[in-house]
Amino acid sequence: MTLEAIKYKAGQLQILDQLLLPGESKYILVAGVKDGWSAIHKMQVRGAPAIAIVGCLSLVVEIYDKQYDTKVALEKELGEHLQYLVTSRPTAVNLKLAADEVKDLATSLLNNETVNVDGMKQEVIKSIEQMLEKDISDNRAIGDNGANALLKGIDRPLKLLTHCNTGSLATAGYGTALGVIRSVNERNLLDHVYCTETRPYNQGARLTAYELVHDKLPATLVTDSMVAALLNSRKIDAIIVGADRVAANGDTANKIGTYQMAVVAKHHGVPFYVAAPFTSIDVAIADGSYIKIEERPEQELTHIAGQRIAAPGIGCWNPAFDVTPAELITGIITERGVLKPSELAEKVRQK
């Protein structure tokens, strides 16, 4: 079993085809931005941070062996590729923020007369390659900050519930919400983790269960519809989920089903945490009403592994995400600490 979603070295990029998991562990080559766009759009690679890293690394693959006559030509091509890549999936903000950073770097290098075109290309490649290590270090920090928050005032093992997949298969490694669960376990204070199957793409049943079994964590798979019964019958200490886009007021877009879990958590007095790096926070939007929610093909709802499970002819609605209002969120666990939703915008501006 492998948990490395992304394999990159010196301009060569491969991704673990997550559409085949858990049955088959197969890497596919990403030979440039068209492959990158397609792999993200088809969800062969998914997860907000992983989408940003694979999108940008596909750009590195695209330009790695190319020669450019001028910095203007290089900057123009970078902008065109990045504009294309960000159309692969609309809800997670990470790829857009990463693309903006690369574009800003390219513009800065274009205007720096001490840098030639080859130097500009190498600087852009280096900045993107660094995203891999930074994501892993961010996730480790999120894990520690989250474990500290969940265990504050508690000296017994925890029962936790999570949704979708937020582990090594959604990031460059370790994970966000699943990283917190890993950090709690590293302190020998994880009693049990419950993961939802996360219909219709089944990231929980196919991917999170895969990671939990790989790590030999005490875990139980439940259906999305069991969350209320689970909180009503077993003492769950906290729910912890990931994020695809957090607005300035703390409203959070995450996998469909997250919102109703937050409502149930409120009803049962269970703390509800979002774990996300600052690369998932979009202070350019005031609240969750501005977040575009991706709608996916109905086949993802009507079929499982190519087998039809829904009556032919039935209409379908398949939003991939929903928005949890900030007032239902206990805290947002980031690499820079655990923030109340109301503290977010100021903390991000402090950069």
Ligand X SMILES: CSC[C@H]1O[C@H](OP(=O)(O)O)[C@H](O)[C@@H]1O
| Active-site pick, 35, 138, 244, 251 | 244
Q: Which amino acid is at 105?
A: L
Site for ligand X in 17-46 (CB under 6 A): 46
Does residue number 179 form part of the binding site for ligand X (CB under 6 A)? no
Give the single-character DSSP code of 294. P
Task: Establish whether 244 is a catalytic residue.
Answer: yes
- 39: buried, middle or exposed (CB in 10 Å: 19+, 13-18, 0-12)? buried
Regarding 170 and contact with ligand X (CB under 6 A), the answer is yes
CA–CA distance, 256 with 224 (Å, rounded to integer)? 10
279 is a contact residue toward ligand X (CB under 6 A):
no
Check if the beta carbon of residue 66 is closer than 8 Å to that of residue 118. no
Site for ligand X contains 176 (CB under 6 A): yes
Query: Using the rule CB under 6 A, is 244 a contact of ligand X?
Result: yes
Does position 171 interact with ligand X (CB under 6 A)? The reply is yes
Residue 120 engages ligand X in binding (rule: CB under 6 A): no
Can residue 204 be called a binding residue for ligand X (CB under 6 A)?
no
254 binding ligand X? (CB under 6 A): yes
User: DSSP per residue over 223-280, as a string?
Assistant: -GGGHHHHHHHS---EEEE--SEEETTS-EEEETTHHHHHHHHHHHT--EEEE--GGG
Min dist. Cβ of residue 244 to ligand X (A): 5
Q: Does 143 bind ligand X (CB under 6 A)?
A: no
Residue 63 tokens read as 């330009």
Residue nearest ligand X (C-beta atom): 242
Residue of 168, 203, 208, 330 that binds ligand X (CB under 6 A): 203
Neighbours of 198 (CB within 10 A): 23
In sign, the C-alpha dihedral spanning 197, 199, 200, 204 is negative
> Rule CB under 6 A: is residue 58 a binding residue for ligand X?
no
Q: Least distance to ligand X from the beta carbon of 48, Å?
A: 4
Stretch that binds ligand X, among 30-38, 114-122, 164-172, 214-222 (CB under 6 A): 164-172
What's the min distance (Å) between Cβ of 165 and ligand X? Answer: 6
Which helix (H) or strand (E) element contains residue 322? strand 321-324
Given candidates 145, 166, 196, 252, which one binds ligand X under the rule CB under 6 A? 166
β-bridge partners, 238: 160
Catalog residues that contact ligand X under the rule CB under 6 A.
46-49, 164, 166, 170-171, 176, 203, 241-242, 244, 254-255, 320
